[in-house]
Amino acid sequence: MVSRRAVVAVACASVAATALPFVTAADAAATPKGYPRAGCFDFKDPSGDAPALNADNPMSDPDLDILGVAFEKTAKDFKAFIKVNKLGAGPSASTDGHRYTVSFLFNGHVFSLAGSHFAHGSGAIRDGLASTGQAGHSTQLGVDIPSVTSTAAVSGRTSGNLGYKTSGLTLTWDTKNSWVVVSLPIADIQKYGGAKFTGTLQELAAFSANDLYAVSETSDTTEQGNSATYTGIWKVGANKCFITPKKR
Other CB atoms within 10 Å distance of the CB of residue 224: 15
Work out the burial of residue 223: count CB atoms within 10 Å of its CB; fewer than 13 is exposed, 13-18 middle, 19 or more buried.
buried
Residue 20 belongs to some domain of the structure: no
**What total number of domains does the chain contain?**
1
Residues 74-120 have pLDDT tens digits of 999 999 999 999 999 998 876 789 999 999 999 999 999 999 999 98
Residue 139 belongs to some domain of the structure: yes
Other CB atoms within 10 Å distance of the CB of residue 142: 25
Report how far residue 66's alpha carbon sits from residue 45's, in angstroms, rounded to the nearest whole number: 6
Residue 19 belongs to some domain of the structure: no
pLDDT of residue 53: 62
Instruction: Identify which of 198, 201, 222 has the alpha carbon closest to the alpha carbon of residue 19.
Output: 222
User: What is the residue-level pLDDT of the chain in tens, covering all 248 positions?
Assistant: 444 433 333 333 333 333 333 334 444 455 688 999 999 999 999 999 998 665 556 678 999 999 999 999 999 999 999 999 999 999 887 678 999 999 999 999 999 999 999 998 888 999 999 988 878 999 999 999 987 667 766 666 666 678 999 999 999 999 999 999 999 999 999 999 999 999 999 999 999 999 988 888 899 999 988 888 889 999 999 999 997 655 55
Residue 18 belongs to some domain of the structure: no
Other CB atoms within 10 Å distance of the CB of residue 193: 18
Residue 243 belongs to some domain of the structure: no
Asked whether the beta carbons of 220 and 64 are under 8 A apart, the reply is: yes
Residue 142 belongs to some domain of the structure: yes
pLDDT of residue 16: 34
Domain span holding position 177:
25-235
60: which DSSP letter?
A: B
Residue 130 belongs to some domain of the structure: yes
Instruction: Identify which of 100, 124, 125, 104 has the alpha carbon closest to the alpha carbon of residue 114.
Output: 100
pLDDT of residue 22: 38
Residue 242 belongs to some domain of the structure: no
pLDDT of residue 213: 84
Asked whether the beta carbons of 1 and 229 are under 8 A apart, the reply is: yes
Residues 130-140 have pLDDT tens digits of 988 878 999 99
